[in-house]
């Protein structure tokens, strides 16, 4: 069954959200690269890559269902953050917003009777639990060590270990 216009429009809106997410995490990486926190910057670059994977996944789904992806203008992200705590709290807040976007997409899929898109979206709903948990865990760690230069140095090292997840470039993975 070909995807409906309302569902396509909503998924196109989410492609924009995902590409904006990549843009935001790239901006976060750039800010912390310039402040000499390579581990934080590396973590953010991996996150940016994953966000592009999410955009591709939705793009592929629209195509597979006979729709057409349409690209909207991407907003300019914030350029600078005052502290690592502010940075990761910003990431957490952003992920909570993205979770709300997916809940809304599931609602639309249900209203439209688009069961296959509803099932497709379940991957993202689960992924969002992990995305929020990751950011929240780092916020917690920063709160513990933020007044300690040594602690922040160790945390930066720990964050540098994160590697890219396999590219989510098809709708099955
Ligand atoms: Fe694609 Fe971080 O949600």
Q: Is the CB of 21 under 6 A from ligand 1?
A: yes
Q: Is the CB of 54 under 6 A from ligand 1?
A: yes
pLDDT < 70 regions, the chain: 164-173
Atom of ligand 1 nearest to the CA of 131: 2
Q: What is the pLDDT of residue 166?
A: 57
Q: Is the CB of 95 under 6 A from ligand 1?
A: yes
What b/e string do you get for 20-50 counting C-beta neighbours within 10 Å, with b at 16 or more?
bbbbbbbbbbbbbeeeebebbbbbbbbbbbb
Nearest protein Cα to ligand 1, atom 1: 51
Taking the centre of ligand 1 as the mean of its atom positions, its distance from the CA of residue 16, in whole angstroms, is: 11
Taking the centre of ligand 1 as the mean of its atom positions, its distance from the CA of residue 21, in whole angstroms, is: 7
Q: Where are the domains of the chain?
A: 5-159
pLDDT digits (tens, 9 = 90+) for 127-150: 999 999 999 999 999 999 978 999
CATH superfamily of 5-159: Ferritin, core subunit, four-helix bundle (1.20.1260.10)
Q: What is the pLDDT of residue 147?
A: 81
């Amino acid at each position: 069954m070909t995807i409906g216009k309302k569902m396509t429009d909503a998924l196109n809106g989410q492609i924009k959200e995902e590409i904006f997410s990549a843009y935001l995490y790239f901006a976060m990486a750039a800010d912390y690269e310039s402040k000499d926190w390579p581990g934080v910057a590396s973590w953010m670059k991996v996150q940016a890559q994953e966000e592009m994977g999410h955009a591709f996944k939705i793009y592929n789904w629209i195509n597979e269902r006979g729709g057409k992806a349409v690209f909207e203008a991407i907003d300019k992200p914030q350029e600078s953050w005052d502290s690592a705590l502010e940075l990761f709290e910003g990431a957490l807040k952003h992920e909570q917003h993205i979770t709300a976007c997916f809940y809304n997409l599931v609602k639309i899929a249900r209203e439209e009777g688009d069961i296959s898109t509803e099932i497709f979206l379940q991957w993202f709903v689960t992924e969002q639990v992990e995305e929020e948990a990751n950011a929240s865990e780092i916020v917690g760690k920063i709160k513990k060590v933020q007044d300690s230069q040594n602690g922040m140095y160790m945390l930066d090292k720990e964050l540098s270990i994160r590697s890219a997840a396999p590219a989510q470039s098809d709708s099955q993975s």
